Structure 1
Amino acid sequence: MNENVQAALASDEGWKSASKRPSLPEVYRSLKVPTHGSWLKKFLAFVGPGYLVAVGYMDPGNWATDIAGGSMFGYTLLSVILISNLMAILLQALAGKLGIVTGRDLAQACRDHYSKPVSMVLWVLCELAIAACDLAEVIGAAIALNLLFGIPLVYGVIITVVDVFIILLLQNKGFRYIESLVIILIFTIGSCFIVDIFLSKPDFAGIAAGFVPSPQIVTNPAMLYIAIGILGATVMPHNLYLHSSIVQTRKFDQSPAGKRQAIKFATWDSSIALFFALFINAAILIVSAATFHKAGMTEVAEISDAYQLLTPLLGTTLGSILFGVALLASGQNSTLTGTLAGQIVMEGFLNIRLPGWIRRLVTRLIAIIPAVIVTAIYGESGTAQLLILSQVILSLQLSFAVIPLVKFTGDKKKMGEFANPLWLKCLAWFVAILIAGLNVYLLFQTFFGE
């Protein structure tokens, strides 16, 4: 571990203070990267972190927005999913670069740059965002268990706590086991939606047209609101913290050439994985458009309604069952990565170490307790409102993660030769300001709109 710790602390130039320990120390630089062999062999050593990040872009919190967009406006909002995904690819590439170049995750970088009071505020905001995201994922998994097996929502919420023990077991066996489970679940979700798309018989010309931005998105207020919901809630703030940490599980060469290669392969990994997320989000909207919008059902917005309506519209129970299985896989996948992100944020901002099981249990309980209370009192309608609230909280916090990330990766004192070039700085700041503006508008409409 001494060699690994020294590598993590190799360069403190440009930072106000120095991180005292590597990110996720139990798995830090635990996966060897081959120094010889083909580029494919080296690239495969980096495959994994991008898929852990990608699950945040297909979590249950996104499902309701995609379903509503498809049922109300057909294929028109596919272009918004594409644009938001391209923005996510850019920001995740910057998060990976920050971790590789500085040896810090985003939480450590914030602690080492900002004053203690500012860092504490950022930490609290980030914990709220992770709790909100966890809330959406817990509720999504509970709804899936209810739809598939008839398990009451309250018990379904409680069952989701088992992911804590899954992570403990897999992380003790090695980080590759966590990555493998996540990739299997992503392909399960994708496979389910391939079948659902086939069953729904969509209009492929309409799909192609939907990926081209339409002026109607801006001129139609209802469409604009849904579009901003997709854009504003697509980039998950905890994913930026997560990615900047887990890229450091690879034991790559610490020379400038080694870091350059690591950045390239890590960017390929996250970009390819995020195209799977694009496919799944687009697939949800396509299935919704091809079934509900086509049948004139333009008010379908809740996940459970979509599940119940798919069977009569498709003429087979298979469509609904696969929809439920995909939702369950999505919820469980997202809780796995959300729990990891909670560990990274707590350790990064506070520079403390807690036993793994305590840290993960605290992270889960923050999400599960309000979900149990609301579900017990208000039932399914309460969980739908809780899903909306979770997305509002995420929107509030997002800029507090994006802006520091863009600032740090564009700083030559911190990044040296790896600092963002001028064109990338301009593009990154444009995306950061756009996300901030859209989220302010979304929040205003949520609280004060008609």
Structure 2
Amino acid sequence: MPDDRAWRFSRETQPEPSLGSLNGSVPVRAGGSWVRRLLGFLGPGYMISVGYMDPGNWATDIAGGSQFGYTLLSVILLSNLMAIVLQALAARLGIATGRDLAQACREHYSRPVGLMLWLACEAAIIACDLAEVIGTAIALKLLFGIPLVLGALITALDVFLVLLLLRRGFRALEAFVIALLAVIFVCFGIQIALAAPPIQAVLAGFVPSAGIVTNPAALYIAIGIIGATVMPHNLYLHSSIVQTRAYPRTETGRREALRFAVTDSTIALMLALFVNAAILIMAAAVFHGAGRTEVQEIEQAYELLSPLLGIGIASTLFAVALLASGLNSTVTATLAGQIVMEGFLRLRIPNWARRLITRGLAIVPVVIVTALYGEQGTARLLVLSQVVLSMQLPFAVIPLVRFVSDPARMGALVVPAWLKVVAWAIAGVIVALNLKLLFDTLAGG
């Protein structure tokens, strides 16, 4: 139960708005057509969609497609629908309360519980950063021949890219993200056209199969896909960046802002669905279809794409999209880390310091694993990072659903009863799948 006295005290003290000076910094139209007003709100949805198509997704989607064909497309669809609902709830929390999820957790829970939630979220951000380091380093190796360890070290320099974009304002950050998303979309659109998968088999893959749950190997990858798609730190991120819009902080203004924010995120996440499905479909059509079910690594996929398709540019497009994906994920991970640290701890450190700390924590295991086990070890580490993300999901999802279901906190924007049921059902599915994975892992399944 929430501590009403703590909540009142927190509301009276009015902590600094989420993201500080960026809060309410992007002007939006008060009038005009619906489309013109929507354009002012477009952006945050695409920034959160980045996390749903980062290099971690590539590893799980490639492994899933090569081993099980189109079967796991239903998992991608399910996880994307979960993401749409949960991101709508995150936007609702931020717009209705003026708090991001981290701030709300700090105000609602006791200090020990808050610290536990913060540590869980930091673990998720490090796992995400780990995937970005590996993915970007692999892309640098494939395109420019840079050794994997050196490529991982080079990724630390992306802090300067983030700082440069932030100095130019939030819209510049969004424009950068959307441009790279367009590159990824085009690359995979071409690859799908080249692979020419059978439409009937693809559509059948979107129908759920009981074999996914009963097969431990399929379940492991399926939960990795969920972890890579419904990313916990993205919920913290979205609840904050929707507040960058300068909508009127009135009930009418918040209702309109919520409608546009949900439209924005839903459109962007449908783009993420296309990219994730395209990676798996490509792996199923090219690798599984040729009997190469052992393909699990990004580098294997790169080396085999052109020979199996018979078109030299296929592998290059794959590597370019991977590099764009890794660079893009840098922006969202940096912002999420800032939001989480400031929200839970009210601790402010320079962006460059925060970025170097999290990136350093991600680079170290990559260097160690590469040195001990070679480049094959990084592929297993990449898939494992996505499972770690999934294991952190309940610690973000359950507080979020509790908050948006609380009339005292949400006021007129509290979720309707049907949406509350759907949200708790999603939380239940996530917890159940994670418990099943944990049981199979401990039992040696």
Both proteins in one fold, TM over 0.5: yes
Q: Secondary structure at the match of 1:294?
A: helix
Give the C-alpha shift of residue 16 in structure 1.
6.1
Give the Cα separation in 2 of the matches to 1:167 and 1:283: 28
Number of the residue aligned with 1:433: 428
Give the C-alpha shift of residue 363 in structure 1.
2.5
> 1:409–1:415: 8 Å Cα contact kept in structure 2?
yes
> 2:227–2:387: 8 Å Cα contact kept in structure 1?
no
Q: 1:42 aligns with which of 37, 58, 70?
A: 37
Moved over 6 A (4+): none
Give the Cα separation in 1 of the matches to 2:292 and 2:420: 44
Number of the residue aligned with 2:72: 77
Give the Cα separation in 1 of the matches to 2:287 and 2:442: 28
- Structure 2 residue 274 is the aligned partner of structure 1 residue 284: no
Q: 1:196 aligns with which of 191, 196, 200?
A: 191
> Which amino acid in 1 is paired with 2:422?
L
Which consecutive residues of structure 1, in runs of 5 or more, have no partner in the other structure?
1-11
Give the C-alpha shift of residue 325 in structure 1.
0.9
Number of the residue aligned with 1:321: 316
Number of the residue aligned with 1:422: 417
Q: 2:266 aligns with which of 271, 286, 298?
A: 271
> 1:71–1:293: 8 Å Cα contact kept in structure 2?
yes
Q: Secondary structure at the match of 1:17?
A: helix
Q: Secondary structure at the match of 1:54?
A: helix
Q: Secondary structure at the match of 1:212?
A: coil
- Structure 2 residue 241 is the aligned partner of structure 1 residue 246: yes
Give the Cα separation in 2 of the matches to 1:228 and 1:387: 13
Number of the residue aligned with 1:384: 379
Q: 1:117 aligns with which of 86, 103, 112?
A: 112
How do residues 350-369 of structure 1 correspond to structure 2 at under 5 angstroms?
350-369=345-364
Q: 2:254 aligns with which of 255, 259, 269?
A: 259
Q: Secondary structure at the match of 1:299?
A: coil
Number of the residue aligned with 1:61: 56
| Cα deviation digits, residues 298-352 of structure 1 (max 9, x gap) | 1211111111111110112211111111111111111221111111101110112
Give the Cα separation in 2 of the matches to 1:443 and 1:185: 36
- Structure 2 residue 302 is the aligned partner of structure 1 residue 307: yes
Give the C-alpha shift of residue 241 in structure 1.
0.5
Give the Cα separation in 2 of the matches to 1:221 and 1:370: 26
Number of the residue aligned with 1:5: none
> 1:406–1:428: 8 Å Cα contact kept in structure 2?
yes
Q: 2:98 aligns with which of 103, 120, 123?
A: 103
Question: Which stretch shifts more, 218-227 or 86-95?
Answer: 218-227
> Which amino acid in 2 is paired with 1:428?
A
> Which amino acid in 2 is paired with 1:415?
M
Given the superposition, is the C-alpha separation of residues 26 and 368 from structure 1 closer, same or farther in structure 2, using an over 3 Å criterion? farther
- Structure 2 residue 168 is the aligned partner of structure 1 residue 173: yes
Q: 2:10 aligns with which of 1, 17, 20?
A: 17
Q: Number of residue pairs matched?
A: 439
Q: Secondary structure at the match of 2:287?
A: helix
> Which amino acid in 2 is paired with 1:303?
I
Given the superposition, is the C-alpha separation of residues 221 and 170 from structure 1 closer, same or farther in structure 2, using an over 3 Å criterion? closer
> Which amino acid in 1 is paired with 2:34?
W
| Cα deviation digits, residues 35-93 of structure 1 (max 9, x gap) | 11111111111100011101111111111211122112222221221111001000000
Give the Cα separation in 2 of the matches to 1:385 and 1:54: 24
- Structure 2 residue 84 is the aligned partner of structure 1 residue 89: yes
Give the C-alpha shift of residue 365 in structure 1.
1.9
Q: Secondary structure at the match of 1:192?
A: helix
Give the C-alpha shift of residue 445 in structure 1.
2.8
- Structure 2 residue 384 is the aligned partner of structure 1 residue 409: no
> 1:232–1:439: 8 Å Cα contact kept in structure 2?
no
Q: Secondary structure at the match of 2:22?
A: coil
Give the C-alpha shift of residue 200 in structure 1.
1.1
| Cα deviation digits, residues 153-188 of structure 1 (max 9, x gap) | 111111112221111111111101111111111111
| Cα deviation digits, residues 238-292 of structure 1 (max 9, x gap) | 1000000100110001111100000000000001000011000000011111111
Given the superposition, is the C-alpha separation of residues 441 and 219 from structure 1 closer, same or farther in structure 2, using an over 3 Å criterion? closer
> 2:60–2:383: 8 Å Cα contact kept in structure 1?
no
Given the superposition, is the C-alpha separation of residues 58 and 318 from structure 1 closer, same or farther in structure 2, using an over 3 Å criterion? same
> Which amino acid in 2 is paired with 1:58?
M
> Which amino acid in 1 is paired with 2:117?
L
Q: Secondary structure at the match of 1:32?
A: coil
Number of the residue aligned with 1:51: 46
Give the C-alpha shift of residue 369 in structure 1.
2.8
Give the Cα separation in 2 of the matches to 1:349 and 1:284: 36
| Cα deviation digits, residues 164-222 of structure 1 (max 9, x gap) | 11111111111011111111111111111111111112111211222222344445554
Give the Cα separation in 1 of the matches to 2:122 and 2:147: 28
TM-score (norm: length of structure 2): 0.95
> 2:55–2:135: 8 Å Cα contact kept in structure 1?
yes
> Which amino acid in 1 is paired with 2:277?
A
> Which amino acid in 2 is paired with 1:205?
Q
> 1:103–1:248: 8 Å Cα contact kept in structure 2?
yes
> 1:232–1:435: 8 Å Cα contact kept in structure 2?
no
Give the Cα separation in 2 of the matches to 1:70 and 1:378: 25
> 1:107–1:348: 8 Å Cα contact kept in structure 2?
yes
Q: Secondary structure at the match of 2:367?
A: helix
- Structure 2 residue 141 is the aligned partner of structure 1 residue 161: no
Q: Secondary structure at the match of 2:20?
A: coil
> 1:143–1:153: 8 Å Cα contact kept in structure 2?
yes
Give the Cα separation in 1 of the matches to 2:404 and 2:371: 45
> Which amino acid in 1 is paired with 2:403?
F
Number of the residue aligned with 1:131: 126
Given the superposition, is the C-alpha separation of residues 255 and 382 from structure 1 closer, same or farther in structure 2, using an over 3 Å criterion? same
